[in-house]
Amino acid sequence: MIISIAEASKRFNISRSKLYRMKDSGDISFSKRLDGSMGIEISELSRVFGATNHEREDATKREIKKHNLETENVYLKKEVEALTKSLKKSEERLDQFIALTQEQNKRLLLTYHSDRKSLWHRLWGR
């Protein structure tokens, strides 16, 4: 990416006149921008001056963000484990409840006696 001479001056904290002197001495090369004006490739500036404060800040921010994401990932994995254990316990309790309910239903069916007489008894009175 080609940036303007003024932008390069700001980013690398170097005067524009020094950039022009460096161009004249062959220490740095300029490039033509799409609009026809002169500029400098960022890669050329990085080659000559190293990383800018802005680039170092970006790298630091990326490292901090990466660390935060890794920390959040560990936390979320632990949370998923805890929720999985809780779900398994709930499923076990549900299975126990179903088994108890089925057992109680069997007992109720065995002990249920109807007061109603069958149709045969009602019709013939026996």
> CA quadruple 103, 106, 108, 111: dihedral positive or negative?
negative
Question: Is the separation of the CB atoms in 40 and 5 below 8 Å?
Answer: yes
Query: Using 50, 70 and 90 to split pLDDT, how confident is the model at 107?
Result: confident
Length of the chain: 126
DSSP 116: S
- Residue 38: inside a domain: yes
Distance CA 125, CA 68 (A): 85
Distances in whole angstroms, Cα of residue 29 to Cα of each of 45, 53, 55, 65: 9, 22, 21, 35
Task: State whether 23 and 61 are in the same domain.
Answer: no
Task: State whether 39 and 65 are in the same domain.
Answer: no
Task: State whether 21 and 43 are in the same domain.
Answer: yes
> Mean pLDDT of all residues in the chain?
85
Domain that holds residue 12: 2-49
Q: Which helix (H) or strand (E) holds 56?
A: helix 53-111
Task: State whether 45 and 57 are in the same domain.
Answer: no
pLDDT tens figures, 62-106? 888 888 899 999 999 999 999 999 999 999 999 999 999 988 888
Query: What's this model's pTM, rounded to 2 decimal places?
Result: 0.41
Task: State whether 67 and 24 are in the same domain.
Answer: no
Task: State whether 57 and 99 are in the same domain.
Answer: yes
In a 3-state reduction of DSSP, which class is residue 104?
helix
